[in-house]
Amino acid sequence: MSFTDIDLARLLIALAVLLLAAHGVGALFARFHQPPAIGEIVGGILLGPSALGAAFPDVQHWIFPATGSSAAALGAVYQLGLLLLMFAAGAQMRRLLQRNAVRAVGLIASFGLVLPFAAGLGLVAVLGVGDFIGTAANQAALTLVFGMAVAVTSIPVISRIMHDTGLLGTRFSRIVLSVAVIEDIVLYVILAVAIGLVQTSGSEAFGVPTALNVHGAARSSIYHTVAAVLFLGVALTVGGRVYQALTGMRVNPLARRSPVACQLLWMLALSAGALALGLVPLYGAFVAGITVAVATDGEIVPERNALAGVSFGFFIPVYFAIIGIQLDLIHHFDVVFFLGFLALACVAKAASVYLGARLSRENKFMSASLAIAMNARGGPGIVLASTAYAAGIINQTFFVSLVMLSIVTSLAAGSWLERVADRLAGAVRDPQPDAAAVPGELTAT
């Protein structure tokens, strides 16, 4: 496909307006102590069919054509932004995993994952899949996505909120972030399995599942679950040492010339490796981030700051803004279903977390605050929605509802914590406040 001057003009204009809208609205949200990533999505909504497209459809279609070279190039930027977001999320895991409050973390993570996931499975069993299923027509994958949509919690959004409200360093923040780490790891394992089920059944499937002739829902589920768990297990066991060895080799010019390039190469290699195993590439990028954090012991060096600067200055805001463009709130937003789904998801998640907190002997106020905070679905919920929609697991109506669920729950959590920050800040702090638990630019998501 040729790339003409008009295609280049469209691409440059599209990137410019996406960047301006994402950072502009994101900064406005940050000013009111709300997650900037939600503002970046709202910036995209303003450029999509719900706003610009409704007022000036010809202008919107010219800047953001559905097909053609510029659309393909914008799609590549979108995919790279997603990989960089997952790499950064993985790199954050090591510094958020803590050993204190083990009882509370264990109980809240167990109840806060299993019960909401089961509630999601129960709801999809009652409602059926006809109104939500995407072009891939894979019911097993849709069921997994539905369950995780109810259960997921966002590390970056909630950590940014607690940073802005001065709650980092409290026992409350340690519990929330430690539980969120566990939940996010489980989320990406299950998402890798769901995408693998679709890829294996598709006509363009390739890699190990194709070589092993993995067919059928049962065999595919078993294979992708085992592959996802083994991939993570091997990476956690030896990945850090392998990365250290590669960067320490004298014959490796990237390690000496550009540590950023070395990390990007490692991310791309593991993303491609995950894809070859029949897993989603974002899972490989997520695992790559964890291994780099292990190899460097979570140390933030200038080169990593440079990588974060490029990622969160350009690629990731554009990724979130493009998600906003994909939201057609006029034609594909089922308000009745969304309100019902919002109520069920919030009640199931809040009740489960509250139960786990009470069983771990937290007081009622602490338990209620944990329940509300862990309802924020933020970045992981949006990644779940966008990835499942791109893979054809869910349709556009359900995609819009999932993104709106992430937006509303994140705003609600931020508003609550802003109100009760002083009471929560009165809790006993750790000896060393974990301001570093929010590694600079990463908290923007």
Closest listed residue to residue 180, CA positions, set 427, 355, 353, 7: 353
Q: What's the pLDDT at 203?
A: 46
> Mean pLDDT for the chain?
83
* The pLDDT of residue 424: 79
pLDDT on residue 395? 93
pLDDT for the residue numbered 410: 86
Do 320 and 382 meet the contact criterion of CB atoms below 8 Å apart? yes
- Short-list 390, 376, 391, CA closest to 323: 390
Residues 243 and 292: beta-carbon distance below 8 Å: yes
pLDDT for the residue numbered 298: 52
What residue numbers bound the domain in which 361 lies?
5-444
pLDDT of residue 349: 94
- Whole-Å CA distances, 220 to 94, 212, 270, 278, 320: 31, 11, 21, 10, 31
The pLDDT assigned to 16 comes to: 96
Residue type present at position 108? I
Exposed, middle or buried, 62 (CB in 10 Å: 0-12/13-18/19+)?
middle
Q: What sign has the CA pseudo-torsion 323, 328, 332, 337?
A: positive
Give the chain's domain count: 1
CATH value at residue 350: 1.20.1530.20
Could you say which residues of the chain have pLDDT below 70? Answer: 1-2, 93-101, 155-157, 159-160, 162-165, 168-169, 199-206, 215-218, 255, 297-306, 426-445
Helices (H), 374-434: 378-390, 396-425
Instruction: Say if residues 116 and 349 touch (Cβ distance below 8 Å).
Output: yes
pLDDT of 268 reads: 94
pTM of the model: 0.82
